[in-house]
Chain A
Amino acid sequence: MKKLLKPRQIRSKIVIPTTSPKKWYGQGIPGVDLQKLTGRLFVVEGADGSGRSTQIIRLVQWLERGGHAPVQVGLKRSTLVSEELEQAQQGNILSRITLSLFYATDFADQLENVILPALKAGFIVLADSYIYTLMARDMVRGMDEAWLKNVYGVALIPDAVFYLQTTPENLVQRNFAKSYALDYWESGMDLGLTRDLFDSFMKYQSLMMQQFQRLQKTYGFHIVDGNQSMDGVHDELRTEIQEVMRGK
């Protein structure tokens, strides 16, 4: 007699997320009714090579399977300034405050045109980096924290923020495994820490980590160990997001 395989169970139950009142970090965007933002905003932060993008792809799949509508956003993707920002960065010609404000413009444009409309429509927004990366980068470069907080007072407070904390040693290995190269900016070469790309990367990434730890104290995000397996990280993110969506 043939052994009958037990058919895999198909789940169709959808957990309806609760809504939670939204808040701005500071002054916010003029004319927005926070009551209408019924969606959820989750942020994944971490250096290149921390597995940020991979985790977002997996979360999208998981959310869709659960019957939710995810929307992805990231830095330097605005219609308004992304091209110009890319060009300026290629040439390394902008000074610090200018570059910082250019990024803030890019962020605000996406906040107003992607994030807020999606939240209004009840979508789950997954942000591949948010204001914290922008602030940490600027703080490493000696910019005033109070000034940055004022600028990013336009931002909405996310439902949860995850920082994939990964050692510079692991980041190097993952960047090399992917492209055999280290990025100029991700190595902080503009800081002139050292002429050696590898050494600069290691130093810069530990400086970034320190700034994230500082910011964590103010903004209270979840620090997730980015050195563990992709599955391990995914499980942690899922558990936390599930709880937030259930209103726990």
Chain B
Amino acid sequence: MRTFSELGFPGRLIAVEGLDGSGKSTQIYLLKRWLELEGVKVFFSEWNSSALVKSATSKGKKRELLSPTTFSLIHATDFADRYERQLVPLLKAGYVVLCDRYIFTAFARDVVRGCPQKWVRGIYNFAALPDITFFFKTKLEISLQRILDGRPQLKYFEAGMDMHLSTDPYESFRIFQGRILEQYLAMSTEFNFLVIDANERVEVQQQVVRQLVQNKIELSQYLPQLG
């Protein structure tokens, strides 16, 4: 698998990965605002957001119809739709594309759910690798706390209840997130994750993120050409 720049795309793709509660969405939002305000041609895409696939996914989740296999396939469908109809054309047109979660989310989650790693990775092998992947690394307890402090209504699949790890949704969520973290850490070197210490303050993290983006991408090339 190669990155978009290695494949000769004029655009660049930046992805963020991490556990729920790692603060990655805040960081990518701030990155997006910075780039936009600097006038860079930027596009943001979120995991599981394709309008076409959404009705099937939400029906599957609401009625708890999904197995590990169909959970994996329907998320791959969602990703493929965004990939083929948005990401690739925008990257061809020289955009900086920001993705809140990319294929590594599937690599981690689906394998924890019991899908064979080789199968999951094979499904996503149509996708190029990001030019930069930030991994927001927190201690498990801290990310759990950020999510659980509000005592939210954890959704069935979100809590990993389909795996019958525990009858208590909160306990199930803890075990599930712990296993996902293991998967992320195991992938970190293989996929060149840039690890950000997500225990730091928001501003400190954003400073590191901006610096790394500037080092790796010649941003002035992504300003609209006038005339």
CB pair B84 A102 closer than 8 Å: no
- By a CB distance below 8 angstroms, the chain A residues around B81 are 94-95, 98
List residues of chain B with CB under 8 Å of any chain A CB.
52-53, 55-56, 59-60, 65-70, 73-74, 76-77, 80-81, 83-85, 113-116, 118-119, 122-123, 125-126
Chain B residues with CB under 8 Å of A31's CB are 114
Q: Is A150 an interface residue (CB 8 A)?
A: yes
- Are the C-beta atoms of A112 and B122 separated by less than 8 Å? no
> Nearest chain-A residue to B122 (Cβ)?
A150
A57: chain B residues at CB < 8 Å are none
Q: Which residues of A, 85-115, contact B by the 8 Å Cβ criterion?
A: 88, 93-98, 100-102, 104-105, 108-109, 112
Nearest CB of chain B from residue A169's CB, rounded to whole Å: 36
Contacts of A98 in B (CB 8 A): 52-53, 77, 80-81, 84-85
Determine the distance from Cα of A79 to Cα of B77 in the docked complex, in whole angstroms: 16
- Please give me the residue from chain A that is nearest to B59 by CB atom: A80
Q: A81-B74, A84-B56 are in contact. Are A95 and B84 (CB under 8 A)?
A: yes
Q: Which of A22-30, A125-133, A187-195, A237-245 contacts B (4 or more CB under 8 A)?
A: A22-30
Cβ-defined contact, B122 with A154, below 8 A = no
CB distance from A96 to the nearest CB of B (A): 7
B77 A108 Cβ-Cβ under 8 A: no
A202 to chain B, nearest CB (A): 29
Query: Contacts A30-B114, A109-B65, A112-B70; is A101 near B55 (CB within 8 Å)?
Result: no
A101 to B123, CA, bound (A): 9
CB interface residues, A 138-154, toward B, < 8 Å: 147, 150-151, 153-154
Our pick among A88, A97, A105 for the contact of B70 (Cβ within 8 Å) is A105
Closest Cβ of chain B: how far from A136's Cβ, in Å?
Answer: 19
22 A–B contacts from the bound complex (CB under 8 Å): A30-B116, A80-B59, A80-B60, A80-B66, A81-B74, A84-B53, A84-B55, A93-B52, A94-B81, A95-B81, A95-B84, A98-B52, A98-B77, A98-B85, A101-B123, A104-B73, A105-B74, A105-B77, A108-B69, A109-B67, A147-B122, A153-B119
Bound-state Cα–Cα, A112 to B84, Å: 28
Q: Could you tell me the distance in whole angstroms from the C-beta of A128 to the nearest C-beta in chain B?
A: 21
Residues of B near A102 (CB, < 8 A) are 53, 77
Specify which chain B residues have a CB less than 8 angstroms from the CB of A151 in the assembled complex.
Answer: 73, 122-123
Given contacts A95-B81, A101-B123, 6 further A-B contacts (CB under 8 A): A30-B113, A84-B53, A97-B126, A98-B84, A101-B73, A147-B126
